Structure 1
């Protein structure tokens, strides 16, 4: 359940809000005049969400590439080519 607080709590009860953000690992929604105004969260939660967004973006790009008509090779073919290249460099 989202934690919703008035903007006055941000000033008057900052430590409590910070504690909620860190202990519950959830954002706290701040309202002003009954309307959404801010979202306060820990840096750890922010970084986790940014990492998820980055992952989703990379997955979207990979999905688009897999749907394209780009020629593909099997894992076995790739490993064979890699071994060939590695052996060629050893000589």
Structure 2
């Protein structure tokens, strides 16, 4: 975890930006010693958002299955998985 004071973003924007890009990790900014903001590289953010959408879809599918709703065929699942993988890979490419 990378933690910096909020003043660092004003004084060292380029340094913070480069740190986010090189590390691929979010940088946590504090204000008066308390957590205030999180800054991250746009590519890392896009990957994270893609993974969250995928997880939401998987949870929704599992909830549907558990509630007794009819499932999907193997071909339908294969198509959905290919689309999800493509979305993740496209998010990584930016």
Aligned residues: 74
Note the C-alpha offset of 1:63: 0.4
Bigger relative contact order, structure 1 or 2 (CA pairs below 8 A, ≥6 apart): 2
Distance 1:47 1:71, change over 3 A: closer
TM-score (norm 2): 0.71
TM-score normalised by the chain length of structure 1: 0.73
What's the C-alpha RMSD, in Å, of the aligned pairs? 1.7
Distance 1:59 1:12, change over 3 A: same
Q: Which runs of 5+ in 2 are unaligned?
A: 75-94
- Asked whether the 8 Å contact 2:4–2:29 carries over to 1, the reply is yes
Question: Where does structure 1 lack aligned partners over 5 or more consecutive residues?
Answer: 76-91
